[in-house]
Amino acid sequence: MPEKTEPTTTENKRADERAEEPKGKPEGKRADKSEDSRPRRRQARGERRIAQLLQAAAQVFCTSGYTAASTNAIAREAGVSPGTLYQFFPNKEAIAIELGDRLMHEMRETYGEALAPLDAGTPLEQAIDAAVDPFMAFNTDHPVFFALMHGPDIPGRMAEAHDQLHTTLVTRIEALLASLMPGAAPPEVTRTAHVCLGIYKAGLELVLAHEGPEREAYVREVKDVLVRYLRPLVSDGA
């Protein structure tokens, strides 16, 4: 019978190394995936909380105005503690600026669609419907935009953004009117654009002050005023 031999030192070392090799690699991968997903979950929760706070701020700014609003009132409207609010915004100005930036981005998309060039021969009423309706819809969906942009105590950064928006709107309205007033001199087109925007803004304040059928009636009145103002100035074959 062959004699048993003891394992050599080298063999013992190899056995020890095998024993020390990490096991359960799939579990390690699952743990890594779990750790990777945590920041994403936290980020998603943070975005939802920010949206909640901005929605509450919009309500408070509309009812109280920007000047009278407070972070405590916004937190109360959102159903959170002031401490939770301060985790995301240092003050009400930061909230207003974030809200204004988001609305300004959406407004730019709106005027890009509403003030597109017109085909030759487009009736005046149709042109005004195409230009006014998207803006009215945006402002009635987001009344806080008007409250912030036309309030007496608008934050400086928002005031600058509003001035830029106003300049851009006038330029786009000029381009729209140029297709309706082909024989008009540039100064006349610019003046007409300013008057049209002024009529719209004045009418918008009345529109936002009403609800339901009465609001719809005011929208029709605003568009009728624009038609009556522009009719003698345009050449649409009417």
Single out the residue of 233, 226, 31 nearest to residue 129, CA to CA: 226
Q: What is the pLDDT of residues 191-200, one digit of tens each?
A: 999 999 999 9
Q: What is the CATH number of the domain that holds 71?
A: 1.10.10.60
Quick check: is 126 in a domain?
yes
- What pLDDT does 204 receive? 95
**Distance, CA of 238 to chain centre:** 39
Q: What is the pLDDT of residues 131-150, one digit of tens each?
A: 999 999 999 999 999 988 87
- The Cα–Cα gap between 71 and 56 comes to 10
Question: Domain range for residue 56?
Answer: 34-90
Same domain, 107 and 84: no
Number of domains in the chain: 2
**Mean of pLDDT values over 228-235:** 90
77-86, 126-135, 160-169: the lowest-pLDDT one? 160-169
- What pLDDT does 38 receive? 58
Q: What is the CATH number of the domain that holds 167?
A: 1.10.357.10
Distances (CA, A) of 144 to 82, 104, 205: 22, 11, 12
